[in-house]
Amino acid sequence: MEPTLLTSPPATRSPRGRRTSPKVRADWERLSQEIRACRRCPLGRQRTHAVVYRGSLAPRVVFVGEAPGAEEDRQGIPFVGRSGRRLDAAIRTLGLGAGAYGVLNVLKCRPPANRFDPKAARTCRPFLDRQLSLLRPALLVTLGAHALRAIDPDAPPVLTAAGRLRAGADPPLFPLIHPAAALRSRRWSDRWDRDLAALGEWLRTGPGTNL
């Protein structure tokens, strides 16, 4: 059976050939429903849709964003706006097929004015932990400062950490700047491209080849 994909694009076999058991799929569905029903913090009472996940249930790489924006809130799918298009182009550049990756956020509901809300992130945190323990990715790629801090509170500032593997993290962690930053100026676009090339190199020829 192919790994389950929760939104398009169509499934391909996970590169590691990992299968999702019926139990994992049932647990995932239950967790997703819990997230969609959550009203534990003010963000949950203001949103249009909780934004759970898109991608494979047996991903090699999971990209961790910060919080849904307006378009994500409208559609209930992570990274479907402008920064999502930049992210998807990056994923294509990395050569990750549809069965090989997933995308989610630290916060499941859009914060007002897109301002990251650390208190809501603490309330939301068990959802992220449960998602990652079901997905069991071989590599996490954080997008932006808030995602990096949520996953690795001891990491240096994102501009220092981005573009190289964080040694000792489990699963391994490769921070990037946020794709929205790459849309803002030539300088950050160049930085995004450079860090992405380093990630591609690590996946293709470094230890990441075996993940």
Alpha-carbon distance of 4 to 73, in angstroms, equals 23
Is the CB of 54 or the CB of 191 nearer to ligand URA? Answer: 54
- Window of 65-73, 92-100, 168-176, 201-209 that interacts with ligand URA by CB under 6 A: 65-73
CB of 102 to ligand URA, least distance (A): 12
CB of 129 to ligand URA, least distance (A): 18
Among 60, 62, 72, 161, binds ligand URA (CB under 6 A): 72
Binding mask 79-118 for ligand URA (x = CB under 6 A): x-x-xx--------------------x-------------
Alpha-carbon distance of 139 to 33, in angstroms, equals 25
CA neighbor of 180 nearest in space, from 170, 188, 172: 188
Among 68, 102, 175, 208, binds ligand URA (CB under 6 A): 68
Among 44, 55, 78, 163, binds ligand URA (CB under 6 A): 78
Number of residues located near ligand URA, criterion CB under 6 A: 13
- Window of 71-79, 89-97, 127-135, 167-175 that interacts with ligand URA by CB under 6 A: 71-79
Interface with ligand URA includes 67 (CB under 6 A)? yes
163 contact partners, CB below 8 Å, separation of at least 6? 175, 176, 191, 194, 195, 198, 199
Q: Which residues bind ligand URA (CB under 6 A)?
A: 65-69, 72, 78-79, 81, 83-84, 105, 143
